[in-house]
Amino acid sequence: MKDISTRLKQVKPSGIRKFFDLVMNSKDIISLGVGEPDFPTPWHITEQGIFHLEKGHTSYTSNLGMLELRKEISDYLKKDFSADYDPKDEIMITVGVSAGLDMTFRTLLEPGDEIIIPVPSYVCYEPLAYLAGGVPVIVDTRETNLVITAESIEKHITSKTKALLISYPSNPTGRMISKEQLIEIIEVCKKYDIWIISDEVYGDLVYDLEPISAATYVKDRLILLNGFSKSYAMTGWRIGYVACPREVLKEMVKIQQYNVLCAPIMSQYAAIEALQNGRAEVDRMKESYKLRRNFFYESLVEIGFDVQKPEGAFYMFPNIKKFGLSAEDFSMRLLQEGRVAVVPGNAFGDMIDDHVRCCYACSMDELKEAISRIERFISSLVH
């Protein structure tokens, strides 16, 4: 179709959704594919959304979002991370974190500007940077235990580098960086005067280290992205936020004004309830994920996988190189022969052909059955 944007035609469809669609049309599949909590949104949060619908609160809000919610986010960032953001003009509510990232790229990037992106990374990072006119500069983290380092960042900085995108805990690896590693990364970015875009949507789901935020250590060159989808099991509510310097947000809000106008008001009311009264539910879900993480990691190691133990989120990223198949072939055959769905690593970076992503946000019974099926499948490969 010659009338379709050439830039858009060069963007590949999501590798996650490809396998999700296959699972939707199959029976007796255990899905370790789509990355979302297996918990419903805690009832007291849902109830607030319902209550405000019943009260007829169905209008637009400010383009920046409800001030009450922005104040709650400001309080959360200050209390948990000693980060100081004015709710009036340094925080904007977005339609999920992905929309916030899209607006961030379109606000910062001029055509040809380079943005450093570690891979494996979430599927939308490279396409959204490219669609905004940026040039993704890919850093393969497989040689540094699936986390980016200050040294590897510095090697990829050029005169065209505008920003660095980081996200920890990571999707798809579940890996986390330490406070010391984060500070080193920030110092490199300060040295070269480049922006840091920090996607912290999994920031509350950390098991073995203290939760950290880039906002504790830098503000003037930071775009902080976060939301409620993962920690509060609110994926379908589509509610996130951006926190950044006011002079940047003043420009970014123009995109929201002319695009979606504002995030849904009932989702904003639910998010207020989440921040005010939802911490105990987050801790309960996190403890459950940790138990499943421990079981799934130990089981994968026991049946012969090489895998890094994740410190957060709800993903594991085992290496499948020893089985002699590409990530795509391994995933497709495991789906067809083993009846388990995982996502091939090349969905998270074209060169990542030796790993697959497993999401362990499913019941323990499903995980046990998945391990049994995976073990049978890999046994069939080596015999």
Contacts of 175 (CB under 8 A, 6+ apart): 145, 146, 147, 168, 169, 308, 310, 311, 312, 317
Domain ranges in the chain are 6-41+280-382, 43-278
**pLDDT at position 312, please?**
97
**pLDDT at position 383, please?**
59
CB 174 within 8 Å of CB 314: yes
**pLDDT at position 19, please?**
62
Nearest Cα neighbor of 171 from 81, 274, 101, 78 is 101
Q: Angle between the 279-302 and 364-382 helix axes, to the nearest 10 degrees? A: 20
Measure the CA–CA gap between 220 and 117, rounded to whole angstroms: 20
**pLDDT at position 13, please?**
77
CB 152 within 8 Å of CB 141: yes
Classify 6-41+280-382 by CATH class. alpha beta
CATH for 43-278 is: 3.40.640.10
DSSP state letter for 142: G
Measure the CA–CA gap between 125 and 177, rounded to whole angstroms: 19
Nearest Cα neighbor of 115 from 139, 148, 140 is 139
**pLDDT at position 20, please?**
67
pLDDT digits (tens, 9 = 90+) for 226-270: 999 999 999 999 999 999 999 999 999 999 999 999 999 999 999
**pLDDT at position 16, please?**
64
DSSP string, 312-326: BTTEE--B-GGGT--
Measure the CA–CA gap between 198 and 353, rounded to whole angstroms: 26
Percent of the residues in the chain that have a pLDDT greater than 90, as a whole number? 90
**pLDDT at position 4, please?**
85
At residue 213's C-alpha, the angle toward residues 211 and 214, to 5°, is 150
Element (H, E) at 299: helix 279-302
What is the phi/psi pair of residue 260, to 5°? -100, -5
For residue 187, the one-letter residue type is: E
Q: What residues in the chain have per-residue pLDDT under 70?
A: 1, 15-25, 383
Measure the CA–CA gap between 106 and 95, rounded to whole angstroms: 16
Measure the CA–CA gap between 197 and 105, rounded to whole angstroms: 9
CB 235 within 8 Å of CB 37: yes
**pLDDT at position 307, please?**
97
Strand order in the sheet with 343-344: 315-316, 356-359, 343-344
Measure the CA–CA gap between 347 and 138, rounded to whole angstroms: 14
For residue 92, the one-letter residue type is: M
Q: Could you give the C-alpha distances from 22 to 16, 26, 27, in angstroms and in order? A: 10, 6, 10
Measure the CA–CA gap between 318 and 378, rounded to whole angstroms: 13
